[in-house]
Amino acid sequence: MKSFDFAQAHDRLDVREKYFNIVNTPWYPGATYAKFSDAEYARRYQLTRAKMTRLGLDVLIAPGGPHHWSFGGGMLWLSGHWCWHGMVEYLVIPRESEPTLIYSQGGAHIEATRRAVYPRDVRTSRGGQFAQVAAEFIRERGLDRARVGIAEADWNFHEYIPVNQFEILQASLPNAPIELVPDFFHELMYLKSPEEQIFVEKAGELCVKALEAIRDRARPGVTEYQLKASATKAIMDQDGQIDFLIIGSTPMNTNRLTASKNFSIKLFCPDTKRWKRN
C-alpha cells in the first residue's frame, strides 16, 4: 500500500488513491482526547503477548465494533479506537513486532484517527477489504505460515468476524492455520490497573453529572429525548463519550410501575437463602 505525503499530494486530493492514502496532513490540530499513557498500553501488550505465547499464537487479530456488549472489544483496549463506521474493525498484533490498526475509512477520517489512537501504523481498509489488508500486513512480517488467532468481537453473544472476511483471510493465507480464540481478553482486563481505575472513577463522576442534568431539566412537558440531550451534554462537556442512554420516565402521581398489578420485586432473604416476591 503506497502512502502519499501531504506536501506532494495536497493539490491533487481529487484523485481518490491519493486522498484515501494521504499522510502527515496539518488537519485536526484540535483532535485531542483523554487517553491512556504509553506505559499503560505497554502493560496491556505485555499481557496480550504473554497469553499469545501461552496459546502458541504468532498473530492475534483483535476485532471490535460499536455494539455496547463489548464497546470496541480487544481492539479498543489495545488501540484506543472506537468507531461507528464499520460493523467490525481490526487490530492485528504480531507476537514479535508492532501492530497495525485497520480502519474502515481513508483520507480525512483516517488522519483524525491517527491522532487519537496508540498504534503508529494505521491503514485504511480500502473500502471494506479488511481481510486483504490484514493478510498483506501478516505477509509483510514474514508470518504467512504463522498460527493466527481471532478473538471475539462481541463477548456477550460470542460473535467473531463476518464470514466473508474469515473466508478471504483463509484464502489469502493458505499456509497459515487460523482459529477462533474464545474469551481471550477477559482475564487480562477484569483487574483494573491504577491508571484504569482513575478513568473508571472519572466515568462514575460523569454518570453523576448526567443524573444531575436530568434532575435539573425534568419538569412537566419535557420529553425523554430532551432529558437525554441534557445528560449527553453533561458527559461530553467533560471529555466523556456516550455509549448509550436509556431513560424511562413515568409520572410520579400515577406511577405506572407501582400501579401495575403484575409488577413485583424479588428480594433475597439471607436467613432462608430463598427469593421472595414483594
Q: For 162-220, write each residue's pLDDT tens digit.
A: 999 999 999 999 999 999 999 999 999 999 999 999 999 999 999 999 999 999 999 88
pLDDT digits (tens, 9 = 90+) for 221-254: 899 999 999 999 999 999 888 888 888 766 666 6
100 strand-pairing partners: 92, 121
Which comes out higher in pLDDT, residue 95 or 271? Answer: 95
- The CB density around residue 19, as the number of other CB atoms within 10 Å, is 15
Q: Find the farthest-apart pair of alpha carbons in the chain and give their distance in angstroms, rounded.
A: 77
pLDDT at 209: 95
pLDDT at 212: 95
Question: Rounded mean pLDDT of 23-29?
Answer: 87
pLDDT at 154: 87
Residues sharing a CB contact under 8 Å with residue 221, sequence separation 6 or more, in sequence order: none
| Three-state secondary structure of 153-172 | CECCCCECCCHHHHHHHHHH
Quickly state the pLDDT bin for 276 (edges 50, 70, 90). Answer: low
Mean pLDDT is highest, among 54-58, 261-265, 272-276, for: 54-58
Which comes out higher in pLDDT, residue 17 or 263? Answer: 17
Q: Exposed, middle or buried, 65 (CB in 10 Å: 0-12/13-18/19+)? A: buried
Domains observed in the chain? 4-189 (3.40.350.10), 194-277 (no CATH)
Between CA 203 and CA 22 the distance in angstroms is 35
pLDDT surpasses 90 at 28: no
- Whether this prediction's pTM lies above 0.95 is answered by no
pLDDT surpasses 60 at 259: no
Between CA 63 and CA 206 the distance in angstroms is 28
pLDDT at 263: 46
pLDDT at 95: 97
pLDDT at 164: 95
Between CA 83 and CA 76 the distance in angstroms is 9
Quickly state the pLDDT bin for 3 (edges 50, 70, 90). Answer: confident
Question: Rounded mean pLDDT of 81-105?
Answer: 91
pLDDT at 261: 52
pLDDT at 272: 61
Between CA 68 and CA 155 the distance in angstroms is 10
Q: Tell me the pLDDT of the chain averaged across its residues.
A: 88
